[in-house]
Amino acid sequence: MDNEKTVKSTVPQSEPPPNSSKSGTGFVVNEHGNVLTNEHVVNQCKDIFFNIHGVNYSMVLMWKDDEMDLAILKSNNLITPSYAIFSEQMRSGEDVVALGFPLGNVLGDDLKVTKGNISAMVGYKSDPDFFQFTAPIQPGNSGGPLLNEYGLVVGVNTAALVGEGLQNINFAIKGTVGQQALGLNSVEFHTEPNGNDENSLDAADLVKVGGDYTGQIICSGF
Protein backbone atom coordinates (compact mmCIF):
# COMPACT_ATOMS: atom_id res chain seq x y z
CA MET A 1 0.00 0.00 0.00
CA ASP A 2 1.45 3.30 -1.11
CA ASN A 3 0.25 5.51 1.71
CA GLU A 4 3.48 6.17 3.58
CA LYS A 5 4.59 9.73 4.30
CA THR A 6 7.46 11.26 6.19
CA VAL A 7 6.93 12.27 9.79
CA LYS A 8 8.52 15.71 10.14
CA SER A 9 7.58 16.54 13.72
CA THR A 10 6.21 14.90 16.84
CA VAL A 11 5.80 17.92 19.10
CA PRO A 12 3.05 17.34 21.71
CA GLN A 13 0.08 19.62 21.21
CA SER A 14 -1.27 19.48 24.77
CA GLU A 15 -1.46 17.26 27.82
CA PRO A 16 -4.74 15.83 29.15
CA PRO A 17 -5.55 16.52 32.81
CA PRO A 18 -4.28 13.91 35.33
CA ASN A 19 -7.81 12.64 36.06
CA SER A 20 -8.62 11.96 32.40
CA SER A 21 -10.07 8.59 31.45
CA LYS A 22 -8.53 6.40 28.75
CA SER A 23 -11.83 5.65 27.12
CA GLY A 24 -11.24 3.96 23.80
CA THR A 25 -9.51 3.76 20.45
CA GLY A 26 -9.58 5.67 17.17
CA PHE A 27 -7.77 5.57 13.86
CA VAL A 28 -6.56 8.15 11.36
CA VAL A 29 -8.37 8.07 8.01
CA ASN A 30 -6.44 10.62 5.95
CA GLU A 31 -3.45 12.94 5.84
CA HIS A 32 -5.55 15.87 7.10
CA GLY A 33 -5.80 14.83 10.76
CA ASN A 34 -9.23 13.19 10.79
CA VAL A 35 -9.85 10.33 13.22
CA LEU A 36 -12.78 7.89 13.21
CA THR A 37 -14.05 6.33 16.44
CA ASN A 38 -17.29 5.26 18.16
CA GLU A 39 -19.81 7.84 19.30
CA HIS A 40 -20.12 6.13 22.67
CA VAL A 41 -16.38 6.61 23.25
CA VAL A 42 -16.63 10.42 23.14
CA ASN A 43 -20.27 11.23 23.89
CA GLN A 44 -19.61 12.37 27.46
CA CYS A 45 -16.26 14.08 26.89
CA LYS A 46 -15.78 17.78 27.43
CA ASP A 47 -12.25 17.60 26.03
CA ILE A 48 -10.89 14.86 23.75
CA PHE A 49 -7.27 13.89 23.25
CA PHE A 50 -5.74 11.39 20.83
CA ASN A 51 -2.51 9.72 21.91
CA ILE A 52 -0.48 8.13 19.13
CA HIS A 53 3.22 7.27 19.08
CA GLY A 54 3.55 8.83 22.51
CA VAL A 55 2.20 12.21 21.43
CA ASN A 56 -1.04 13.74 22.75
CA TYR A 57 -3.14 15.77 20.33
CA SER A 58 -6.12 17.88 21.32
CA MET A 59 -9.05 16.96 19.08
CA VAL A 60 -12.16 18.78 17.90
CA LEU A 61 -15.39 16.78 17.63
CA MET A 62 -16.57 17.37 14.06
CA TRP A 63 -19.59 15.09 14.04
CA LYS A 64 -21.23 12.25 15.92
CA ASP A 65 -24.26 10.03 15.51
CA ASP A 66 -25.56 7.76 18.26
CA GLU A 67 -27.55 5.50 15.91
CA MET A 68 -24.55 4.82 13.70
CA ASP A 69 -22.33 4.88 16.83
CA LEU A 70 -19.66 6.79 14.93
CA ALA A 71 -17.82 10.03 15.56
CA ILE A 72 -15.32 12.02 13.51
CA LEU A 73 -12.54 13.99 15.19
CA LYS A 74 -10.13 16.54 13.76
CA SER A 75 -6.70 17.96 14.58
CA ASN A 76 -4.85 20.40 12.36
CA ASN A 77 -1.53 19.30 13.85
CA LEU A 78 -1.85 15.51 13.82
CA ILE A 79 1.07 13.76 12.13
CA THR A 80 1.25 10.00 11.54
CA PRO A 81 3.39 7.79 9.30
CA SER A 82 0.30 6.63 7.37
CA TYR A 83 -3.49 6.45 7.47
CA ALA A 84 -6.10 3.71 7.24
CA ILE A 85 -7.26 2.33 3.92
CA PHE A 86 -10.72 0.74 3.75
CA SER A 87 -11.37 -2.54 1.97
CA GLU A 88 -13.81 -2.38 -0.92
CA GLN A 89 -15.30 -5.73 0.10
CA MET A 90 -15.63 -8.16 2.99
CA ARG A 91 -16.66 -11.80 3.26
CA SER A 92 -18.05 -14.06 5.93
CA GLY A 93 -15.34 -16.38 7.19
CA GLU A 94 -12.35 -14.20 6.34
CA ASP A 95 -9.63 -13.75 8.94
CA VAL A 96 -9.51 -10.46 10.83
CA VAL A 97 -7.35 -8.74 13.44
CA ALA A 98 -8.74 -6.30 16.01
CA LEU A 99 -6.47 -3.46 17.18
CA GLY A 100 -7.06 -1.25 20.20
CA PHE A 101 -6.31 -0.21 23.73
CA PRO A 102 -8.57 -2.34 25.95
CA LEU A 103 -8.73 -1.53 29.66
CA GLY A 104 -6.05 1.12 29.22
CA ASN A 105 -5.90 2.04 32.89
CA VAL A 106 -5.26 -1.61 33.80
CA LEU A 107 -3.43 -3.25 30.88
CA GLY A 108 -1.20 -0.34 29.92
CA ASP A 109 -0.78 1.83 26.88
CA ASP A 110 0.65 -0.67 24.40
CA LEU A 111 -1.46 -1.46 21.33
CA LYS A 112 -3.22 -4.81 21.78
CA VAL A 113 -4.09 -7.29 19.02
CA THR A 114 -6.51 -10.22 18.86
CA LYS A 115 -7.24 -12.57 15.97
CA GLY A 116 -10.45 -14.16 14.72
CA ASN A 117 -12.74 -14.29 11.73
CA ILE A 118 -15.96 -12.74 10.45
CA SER A 119 -18.70 -15.07 11.65
CA ALA A 120 -21.84 -13.35 10.31
CA MET A 121 -22.58 -10.48 7.98
CA VAL A 122 -25.23 -8.95 10.24
CA GLY A 123 -25.06 -7.64 13.78
CA TYR A 124 -27.24 -7.86 16.87
CA LYS A 125 -30.85 -8.67 15.94
CA SER A 126 -29.75 -8.85 12.28
CA ASP A 127 -28.73 -5.19 12.06
CA PRO A 128 -27.32 -4.87 8.51
CA ASP A 129 -24.95 -2.01 9.42
CA PHE A 130 -22.95 -4.31 11.70
CA PHE A 131 -21.34 -7.72 11.48
CA GLN A 132 -20.15 -10.34 13.95
CA PHE A 133 -16.57 -11.50 14.44
CA THR A 134 -14.73 -13.78 16.84
CA ALA A 135 -11.57 -11.81 17.73
CA PRO A 136 -12.01 -11.06 21.46
CA ILE A 137 -12.45 -7.38 22.39
CA GLN A 138 -12.78 -5.60 25.73
CA PRO A 139 -13.86 -2.14 26.89
CA GLY A 140 -11.36 0.26 25.35
CA ASN A 141 -11.23 -1.59 22.03
CA SER A 142 -14.25 0.45 20.94
CA GLY A 143 -13.51 2.65 17.94
CA GLY A 144 -10.47 0.68 16.83
CA PRO A 145 -9.99 -0.75 13.34
CA LEU A 146 -10.70 -4.33 12.35
CA LEU A 147 -8.28 -5.34 9.61
CA ASN A 148 -8.42 -8.13 7.06
CA GLU A 149 -5.37 -10.16 6.06
CA TYR A 150 -4.30 -7.48 3.56
CA GLY A 151 -4.14 -4.76 6.21
CA LEU A 152 -7.32 -3.05 5.01
CA VAL A 153 -10.06 -1.82 7.36
CA VAL A 154 -13.25 -3.87 7.14
CA GLY A 155 -14.93 -2.58 10.30
CA VAL A 156 -14.91 -0.41 13.42
CA ASN A 157 -14.88 -2.43 16.65
CA THR A 158 -17.84 -1.50 18.82
CA ALA A 159 -19.19 -4.08 21.30
CA ALA A 160 -19.10 -7.60 22.70
CA LEU A 161 -22.17 -9.65 23.64
CA VAL A 162 -21.62 -10.97 27.15
CA GLY A 163 -23.52 -13.41 29.32
CA GLU A 164 -23.48 -16.91 30.67
CA GLY A 165 -22.58 -19.39 27.95
CA LEU A 166 -21.60 -16.69 25.44
CA GLN A 167 -18.09 -16.64 23.98
CA ASN A 168 -16.41 -14.48 21.35
CA ILE A 169 -19.57 -12.83 20.04
CA ASN A 170 -18.33 -9.39 19.05
CA PHE A 171 -19.68 -6.70 16.77
CA ALA A 172 -18.16 -4.17 14.41
CA ILE A 173 -19.68 -1.42 12.32
CA LYS A 174 -19.16 -2.27 8.67
CA GLY A 175 -16.38 -0.36 6.97
CA THR A 176 -18.84 0.70 4.28
CA VAL A 177 -20.92 2.45 6.96
CA GLY A 178 -17.80 4.23 8.18
CA GLN A 179 -17.09 5.34 4.62
CA GLN A 180 -20.66 6.61 4.31
CA ALA A 181 -20.29 8.69 7.49
CA LEU A 182 -17.02 10.17 6.29
CA GLY A 183 -18.46 10.94 2.87
CA LEU A 184 -21.54 12.64 4.31
CA ASN A 185 -19.23 14.96 6.21
CA SER A 186 -16.95 15.63 3.22
CA VAL A 187 -14.04 13.91 4.98
CA GLU A 188 -11.51 12.36 2.63
CA PHE A 189 -10.86 8.62 2.95
CA HIS A 190 -9.16 5.95 0.88
CA THR A 191 -10.22 2.53 -0.38
CA GLU A 192 -8.46 -0.32 -2.11
CA PRO A 193 -9.53 -3.71 -3.47
CA ASN A 194 -8.38 -6.77 -1.58
CA GLY A 195 -5.15 -8.27 -2.80
CA ASN A 196 -4.27 -11.89 -3.45
CA ASP A 197 -2.46 -14.50 -1.39
CA GLU A 198 0.89 -12.95 -2.26
CA ASN A 199 -0.21 -9.67 -0.64
CA SER A 200 -1.51 -11.15 2.61
CA LEU A 201 0.27 -10.21 5.83
CA ASP A 202 0.96 -12.14 9.00
CA ALA A 203 -0.34 -10.85 12.33
CA ALA A 204 2.91 -9.12 13.27
CA ASP A 205 2.94 -7.15 10.02
CA LEU A 206 -0.75 -6.26 10.43
CA VAL A 207 0.03 -4.80 13.84
CA LYS A 208 2.85 -2.75 12.32
CA VAL A 209 0.62 -1.44 9.52
CA GLY A 210 -2.32 -0.63 11.78
CA GLY A 211 -0.16 0.67 14.59
CA ASP A 212 1.01 3.53 12.41
CA TYR A 213 -2.47 5.10 12.45
CA THR A 214 -4.24 3.65 15.52
CA GLY A 215 -4.24 5.63 18.76
CA GLN A 216 -5.88 5.89 22.17
CA ILE A 217 -8.80 8.22 22.84
CA ILE A 218 -8.46 10.05 26.16
CA CYS A 219 -11.52 11.78 27.56
CA SER A 220 -11.65 14.51 30.20
CA GLY A 221 -14.23 16.82 31.78
CA PHE A 222 -17.18 14.48 32.01
The residues annotated as belonging to the active site are 40, 69, 142
> Over 33-102, what HEC string results?
CEEEECHHHHCCCCEEEEEECCEEEEEEEEEEECCCCEEEEECCCCCCCCCCCEECCCCCCCEEEEEECC
How far is the C-alpha of 156 from the C-alpha of 120, rounded, in Å? Answer: 15
Closest CA to 139 of 33, 217, 67, 221: 217
Strand partners for 52? 55
DSSP lists the bridge partners of residue 27 as 36, 214
Q: Shortest CA distance to 62 belongs to which of 79, 80, 54, 50?
A: 50
